Each structure stands twice: as structure tokens, then as C-alpha cells.
Amino acid sequence: MEPIYITGAGVVSAIGVGKEATLASLLAGKSGVGKMKYLASCHHDLPVGEVPLSNEEMVQQLGITDSLFLTRSALMGRLALREALEEAGLDGDDLRDVPFISATTVGGMDRRETYYELEKECNPNYAVIATHHCGSCTEMIAEAFGQFASISTASTACSSATNAIITGANMLRCGLAEIVVVGGTECLTKFHLNGFNALMILDAQPCRPFDRDRAGLNLGEGAAYLVMETEASVKKRGATPLCKLSGYGNACDAFHQTASSPNGEGAYLAMQEALQLAGMKPEDIQYINAHGTGTPNNDESESHAIQRVFGDHLPPVSSTKSFTGHTTSASGSIEAVFCMLALQHQFLPQNINWKNPMEGGIIPVTDQQPQGEIRHILSNAFGFGGNDSSIILSKCEA
């Protein structure tokens, strides 16, 4: 596979706004999951991972004068995208040949549910309803930065942002672009929270991925975007690569609408495809950032899939969702940034809150210190319906 380089990255989540704050929280083992502050839900007993800014504070940070119809997903997306473009050294004039692929499933649901009771009346607030759909969220983010060559929206539940990365990589490999901007954003909403609560997979305590006593996930929110370039573009622009996308895979086992298959077939196939495309063997991977939601079903299924792929060459594994909560459609790009930071700073993100090994499952990382150099990281993102994706990020050689 021809090299694909990441030259810019931006991230916003419960553990910080920007990469600097994010890195500090990861190194300190500091979770952002806690009591609800901004979400107007009656389920105050459920911990969540909220971005530590109100909508008004995000509007101020972005210098926006007209924010009437901007959704929380779009505001977080703008913060993350601004950081990514600035690091890559791209401005509005540079974006005319750059596709933008953003992932979301919630979209503008936060605005829509605010006006739910008014929908039966002829009310001027109906204009807000147009901000609901996922594509509208992508447009709101993009319009603040100039004219992209094209904009697209990926929505495959919790694998959405990883699939945005894969779509962008395929565009680069096919010669459809030299630079792409990819990632995802997802805010917390009442509908979002109530839906997961109805599935009975939310934990009333901080989540414990891969723990014997795990009881479910905590929902989170956030956004992250990556600027990816071909080798020719990096040389032409004199850009500085942060890391390399070495491989990726997507598979769908379609086992169940929401549950993972017992043997993790889709996850197994996605990881195998990523390794094959990268030209790597299991022993080439030094760390796995697991999907690791903390639900009994996911962690058992993913454990089986990882063990099937890696066998006796199992590297350190952890889930970072105990830091941020499950950021659903944005999780793949947020965790890709975590993996990039782990490569750059040579540490293993901890699986915080873990205490007791699950029978036949993964024993996750609780020590940040790697045993040797971290050169290649595999990151998993698995969605409802068995739409499972994996990517491999690699350290750039000097």
C-alpha cells in the first residue's frame, strides 16, 4: 500500500479540548466521565462523558456571531477541525481540492428535540428542524472554513468515523485527491441517551471495559478530524507527517441489529484485512486500542476476535472509553488521535477502572510503560449491525 500520512489532527472530548489537554489527561489517567452538567435529561443517575464547555462557551471560543441554528455536534466539530487544519498548515484557499468526510449519527438531534412540542404548530422555529439530519451537521462544520472540493457524511453507527477515515484513504489511493480531511462528531442528546438506556446497556457507575463485573457503557460526546495526504503531497507542501496510516479493513457480519456475534466474526475479518493491507503479521503490532465498550456482549465478542487474530502474539490491549465514555459515531477518529499521541509520546493508554479479569477474556493494560518501542497500533471501531472496522497507525521513520 502506498504511504498515507497524517499531517494534522484535532480533538475535543470529555478529557480535554485540543491535543495538549487530551495528552495530559491520558498520561494522568484522568477520566472525564462524571455527573451530567449540560444535557437536560431526567436520568441524572447515569454518568456521561461531556465536553467541558457549554454551547455558549464554544461559540465564544470560535468567535461566532450568528449561532442561532448551530448544533452542539457542529460546534464541537468546528473546534476539532480548526485544530487539525491549523496543524496541517491549510487555510480556506487550500481546501478547494480537498474532500471533507465527516461522520455522525445523532447529527442535530439536540436542536430538534428542543422544538419537539412545537412541531404540531405553524411556528417559525420549524427552521430549526432542518438542522436535524446528519448532512446538515457536516455542512455547518465545513462552511466555517471555506470551500471544500466536496463534502460527504458517513453514518454507520459506532464505526462511522473509522469508515470516514477508510473512505478518505481509498480516495487518496484511487487518485481522487491528494489531501482529504476525515473524522467525526457526536453530541449527547436525550433521545440518544434514552435509546441506549432502553437497550439496557448503560452502566450507572463509571464503565469498566474487559472487567469481570462490567455492567455496560457510559455515553460520551466529542469530535476529532485528521488531515491525510499522499506522499507526493507531503513532499510538495513540505508538510510534517505526524504518523502513517498503514492499513485498514471493514467487514459486516450482520449477526444482529445491536449485538456483536459471539465469536466476533466481523471484528476478526476487519482486523485480518487491516493487517493484510499493511503487509504485517500479528507480531508487528505493539498495542491494540480496543472498541471495548464495557458491555458484557461487546467485550466478550471482541476478546474472542482479538485472540483469534493474535493468538500467542497478543500485544498490550486497552479501551480508552473509560476516559471519554462511548462517543459513538465519533469514537473511531477520537481514538485514532489517542493512538497517534501514543505513537508520538511512546506510552500505553491505560484501561482505567479495570480490576477483575473476565473468564477467557482480555487482560487489559494498566501500566503506561511499554516493554519496547511502539511502532504500529491497531485501533478497532465496531458498529450496530456488525459493521466493524479496524485501522493501523504507524510511527513515521526519521
Catalytic status, residue 174: no
Q: Per-residue pLDDT for 260 more than 80? A: no
**Residue 259: band (very low, low, confident or very high) from pLDDT cuts 50, 70, 90:** low
Phi then psi dihedrals of residue 394, to 5 deg: -130, 150
pLDDT at 370 over 80: yes
Residue 256 clears pLDDT 60, i.e. is over it: no
Taking 80 as the threshold, does the pLDDT of residue 264 lie above it? Answer: no
DSSP string, 23-52: HHHHHHT----BS-SSS--S-TTS-BB--S
**Where do the structural domains in the chain lie, given as residue ranges?**
4-237, 247-394
What is the pLDDT, as a whole number, of residue 397?
Answer: 78
Given the residues 132, 192, 304, 326, select the one marked as catalytic.
326
Residue 97 reports pLDDT greater than 90: yes
Each residue of 47-67: pLDDT tens digit? 999 999 999 999 999 999 876
Q: How far apart are CA 112 and CA 362, in angstroms?
A: 40
Q: Report, as an integer, the average pLDDT of 207-229.
A: 97
Q: Is the pLDDT reported for residue 275 higher than 80? A: yes
Which DSSP category does 261 fall into?
P
pLDDT at residue 215 greater than cutoff 60:
yes
Quote the pLDDT of residue 79.
Answer: 98
29 is written with which cell numbers? 489517567
Which residue among 291, 304, 339, 376 is the active-site one? 291
The pLDDT, as a whole number, for residue 126 is 61
> Residue 186: pLDDT band by 50, 70, 90 thresholds?
very high
Query: pLDDT (tens digit, 9 = 90+) per residue, 303-346?
Result: 999 999 999 999 999 999 999 999 999 999 999 999 999 999 99
Residue-averaged pLDDT of the chain: 91
Q: In 302-333, which positions are buried (b, 16+ CB within 10 angstroms) versus exposed (e)?
A: bbbbbbebbeeebbbbbbbbbbbbbbbbbbbb
8 A C-beta contact, residue 276 and residue 332:
no
Main-chain phi, psi angles of 59, to 5 degrees:
-60, -45
Q: Give me the pLDDT at residue 255, please.
A: 61
Predicted local distance difference test score (pLDDT) of residue 328: 94
pLDDT at 222: 98
pLDDT of residue 214: 95
pLDDT value, residue 109: 82
Q: Is the pLDDT reported for residue 271 higher than 60?
A: yes
Q: Look at strands 4-13 and 16-17 and give their pairing.
A: antiparallel
Global pTM?
0.95
**Integer Cα distance of 158 and 302 in angstroms:** 14
Report the share of the chain in percent with pLDDT over 90: 75
Q: CATH top-level class for 4-237? A: alpha beta
Q: Does domain 247-394 have CATH number 1.10.3720.10?
A: no
Bridge partners of 326, per DSSP, are 219
Annotation says 326 is catalytic: yes
Dig out the grid coordinates for 52 from the structure. 467541558
Backbone angles phi, psi at 53, to 5 degrees: -145, 140
Active site residue 207: no
Q: How far is CA 398 from CA 278, 291, 327, 343, in A?
A: 19, 30, 33, 13
More confident residue, 121 or 238: 238
Phi, psi of 195 (to 5 degrees): -65, -45
pLDDT, position 69: 73
Q: Do 4-237 and 247-394 share a fold?
A: yes
| pLDDT tens for each residue of 151-168 | 999 999 888 999 999 999
User: Catalytic: which of 132, 134, 137, 158?
Assistant: 158
Residue-level pLDDT at 176: 97
Separation CA 374–CA 238 (nearest Å)? 26
How confident is the model at residue 386, as a pLDDT? Answer: 66
Q: pLDDT tens across 372-392, in order?
A: 999 999 999 987 666 889 999
For Cα atoms 95, 101, 102, give the angle at the middle one, nearest 5 degrees: 120
The whole-number pLDDT of residue 283 equals 97
